Amino acid sequence: MAKINVDPEKCTGCGTCVDVCPVGVYELKEGKSVPIKADECLLCRACETQCPAGAITVTE
């Protein structure tokens, strides 16, 4: 299963990860991205590569 880490210090709440994730892993809560459905992650790494703040790390 994927392990997803979002660094809240770096996250700006831009919503890019919410938009690019094909399975809806992320949700914005109080202006920060939270991986609420990490168990559905496909390991495509779209979020990791497209986060403008470099806040996301996806590991297997």
Return residues touching ligand SF4 (CB under 6 A).
2, 4, 6, 11-17, 20-23, 25, 33, 41-47, 51, 53, 55-56, 58
Q: Phi/psi of residue 35, each to 5°?
A: -80, 85
Distances (CA, A) of 3 to 28, 31, 43: 18, 21, 9
Residue 51 Cβ, how far from ligand SF4 at the closest point, in Å? Answer: 3
Q: What angle do CA 27, 38, 14 make, to 5 degrees?
A: 30
Q: How far is the CB of 14 from ligand SF4 (least distance, A)?
A: 4
Residue number with CB closer to ligand SF4 (30 or 43): 43
